[in-house]
Amino acid sequence: ALLDLSGVHQVKGTWMGSITLPCTYTPSEGFTQETLSWSMERDYSTSTVFRRDDSGDHILLSRFRSRVGVPKHSPGDASLLIENLEIPDSGHYTCQVTWRSKNNSLITKELTTIVKVVKVAVTKPVIRAGKLGLTVPAGARTSLTCVASGSPPISYRWFRSSPGRKAQLLSSQAELAWDSLRLSDAGMYYCEAENR
């Protein structure tokens, strides 16, 4: 079990979120880590994402630049952190570590983890309630914004409700804006948010 890499078989990440692909070993006397690399296989082609050697850390795929990293000062931890996950980041990732022993022989071990990037779990939109009641001088510019959380895409509609009349659709945007308020704009407004 000397210098065995441990990790997990599969990691699920959420689109635009971040994940860590664990790859760890117990440092052993007489062995020094020579190189560490992470490669990714997708659609039958393999490319190196990250490499650490005596010249430093290198991110070799431009689309991962500033999105990936490996802990610097924790010996035995070769885990890969990926931020701002994109759907094409899904694939098979292989952690490969090579050590040099005292008698100058090299030992290499590998560990593969499957990464699945999924869109946000499907949830109904929830509208964040704003302050009830807004007093604004006539002639002023103002706007009402509808903020909802839930799985995208979310569409918005603003209505004005008048007692005894059918609600009037005013906007199909998240924001309802007035350039110059008139006294007749006073009333009750409400927002609807809808997703799939």
Q: Residue 157, Cβ neighbours under 10 Å: how many?
A: 18
The whole-number pLDDT of residue 80 equals: 97
The whole-number pLDDT of residue 121 equals: 65
Q: In terms of residues, how long is the chain? A: 196
The whole-number pLDDT of residue 17 equals: 84
* Whether pTM exceeds 0.85: no
Q: Find how far residue 124's CA is from the centre of its chain.
A: 20
Burial label, 80 (beta-carbon count in 10 A; 0-12, 13-18, 19+): buried
- CATH of the structural domain 5-118, one choice from 2.60.40.10, 1.10.132.50, 1.10.10.10, 1.10.620.20: 2.60.40.10
Q: Residue 102, Cβ neighbours under 10 Å: how many?
A: 9
At 80-109, the pLDDT tens digits run 999 999 999 999 999 999 999 999 999 999
Q: What is the CATH number of domain 126-195?
A: 2.60.40.10
Average pLDDT over residues 21-46: 93
Q: Which of 40, 38, 35 minimizes the C-alpha distance to 23?
A: 38
Domain positions in the chain are 5-118, 126-195
77 secondary structure, DSSP code: B
The whole-number pLDDT of residue 123 equals: 78
Would you place residue 169 in the very low, low, confident or very high pLDDT band (cuts 50, 70, 90)? very high
> Tokens 């996950």 label which residue?
85
Average pLDDT over residues 20-48: 94
Query: What's the mean per-residue pLDDT of the chain?
Result: 90
Average pLDDT over residues 33-56: 94
